[in-house]
Amino acid sequence: MSASTESLLKSFCTYVYYAGNGNFWFENVHQESIGYKIYSLISFTIYITMILLENMAAVFGNFPEVEKKSAIMFSAIHDIIIIKMFSMFYYKNSIKMLNYEMSFVMKDIEEESIMKKQKRKVLWGITFYVITVYLSLTAYGVESLRKVFVEGTPFYTVVTYFPTYYEDSLAASVFRVFFYVTWLYMMLPMIAADCMPIIHVIIVTYKFMTLCHYFEKIRMNFERNLLVMSNKNATKILKEGCIEGIKIHQKLQFIVKEIHRVFGIIMSLQVCESSAVAVLLLLRLALSSHLNLTNAFMTYTFVGSLFFLLALNLWNAGEITYQASLLSNSMFFCGWHLCDMDKQSHKDIRRVVLVGCAQAQKPLILKAFGIQDLSYTTFVSVARMTYSIFAVFYQRRE
């Protein structure tokens, strides 16, 4: 498979389609047939029904303390996730247009080495996230089975209002297993919603890196042209290259604004979800008198997956800000100072570079809810806050 931006986005949209979320590619390569729409409708009806039963369990359910806390936690998590999924559906047409713009902007100047790094970062990031998620879900299943055989309690992973905790009939057991399997399958479209903004943010980051390389190349070409042609002709080629680069930069600025508009809610909710749920899980860890191996593994992998997803969002959003900040230097050192100082063409190229540098110096910062920067600093702040709360309660327990 090619490492180009187009092939990378198209491959991810194929996964989104088979996860049941529909066709997000700008071409109709994946048919949303009547059968497919029925499959999606049934799937999401089951998901929503299970989440409603989780909310009912959290509010009205009569469960032991551990199951009650799990019901509250998972109802909050799944409520946030379903909002993210419906936000993705709401902006479906905008995401298609965004995929189109990102596939073809800078397509002619993409560098194979940079595209390979881009693809590798996306694949490794998403693969590791999926592994941590399913390790956590598997640990929940194993721990529930252990409690069934050792403690004689019902099989519970996702805590729902129906069946009740003390119901031990065969039908109740079948429903509990069905909800667990549904939970495992429901993670496929959920992961699609979580990873959609991450992939777009990573791609934009590498487009800024490519644009910096583009300005470095036009300088090298200008220096070579000075050896074989007049300064006037070389300056004309340099000016055309700078104008093209500035137009690309304006296009990238528009794409970043679209990413912020389309995926802003998803990325903002992710900050809330990861930080709040991580605090709840670590408090559970701190206040528990004893944790067996599977329970501890379940908690640590869950916290790890949440923090890794938060890191994917915040680190890559911060990387956009950093890579965009390097562009003004690349523009400034494009070679304009080697033009004839006494010529009108020098004044023209100087104005072009001045305008480009002024635009590139405006910081590109993605924000959560329009307030909190999505950056490396925010990730460190959230991690420190979470650990501080955990440390305080752990110390009180001691």
pLDDT of 394 higher than 70? no
pLDDT band at 397 (very low <50, low <70, confident <90, very high): low
Contacts of 193 (CB under 8 A, 6+ apart): 21, 81, 84, 85, 87, 88, 266
pTM: 0.92
270 CB burial (10 A radius; 0-12, 13-18, 19+): buried
Give the chain's length. Answer: 398
pLDDT band at 398 (very low <50, low <70, confident <90, very high): low
> What angle separates helix 293-325 from helix 170-228, to the nearest 10 degrees?
30
pLDDT of 343 higher than 70? no
pLDDT of 92 higher than 90? yes
Contacts of 307 (CB under 8 A, 6+ apart): 274, 278, 383
Check: CB of residue 216 under 8 Å from CB of residue 200: no
What are the structure tokens assigned to 26, written together? Answer: 């700008």
Q: What is the pLDDT of residue 1?
A: 44
Query: Which string of DSSP letters, residue by residue, matches 147-162?
Result: HHHHT-----SS--SS
d(CA 21, CA 13): 9
Query: Which string of DSSP letters, residue by residue, matches 285-349?
Result: HHH-S---HHHHHHHHHHHHHHHHHHHHHHHHHHHHHHHHHTHHHHHHTSSGGGS-TTSHHHHHH
Strand pairing category for 372-373 and 367-368: antiparallel
pLDDT of 114 higher than 70? yes
Phi (first) and psi of residue 170, to 5 degrees: -65, -40
Number of other CB atoms surrounding residue 93 within 10 Å: 10
d(CA 98, CA 95): 5
Distances (CA, A) of 240 to 218, 342, 366: 10, 20, 31
- Average pLDDT, whole number, for the chain? 88
pLDDT of 168 higher than 50? yes
Query: Which string of DSSP letters, residue by residue, matches 154-219?
Result: ---SS--SSS-TT--SHHHHHHHHHHHHHHHHHHHHHHHHHHHHHHHHHHHHHHHHHHHHHHHHHH
pLDDT of 270 higher than 80? yes
Q: What is the pLDDT of residue 378?
A: 87
pLDDT of 79 higher than 50? yes
Host domain of residue 262: 5-397
Number of other CB atoms surrounding residue 151 within 10 Å: 7
pLDDT band at 388 (very low <50, low <70, confident <90, very high): confident
pLDDT band at 345 (very low <50, low <70, confident <90, very high): low
Mean pLDDT confidence for 320-330: 94
Distances (CA, A) of 150 to 142, 154, 194, 218: 12, 11, 36, 70
The structural domain count of the chain equals 1
What are the structure tokens assigned to 92, written together? Answer: 């479906």
Q: What is the pLDDT of residue 288?
A: 62
pLDDT band at 69 (very low <50, low <70, confident <90, very high): confident
The closest of 137, 142, 16 to 77, measured between CA atoms, is 137
Strand-pair partners of 372: 368
Phi (first) and psi of residue 385, to 5 degrees: -65, -45
Q: What is the pLDDT of residue 216?
A: 93
The closest of 138, 146, 144, 131 to 304, measured between CA atoms, is 131
Check: CB of residue 326 under 8 Å from CB of residue 287: no
Name the least confident of 93-97, 237-241, 275-279. 275-279
pLDDT of 395 higher than 90? no
d(CA 77, CA 280): 11
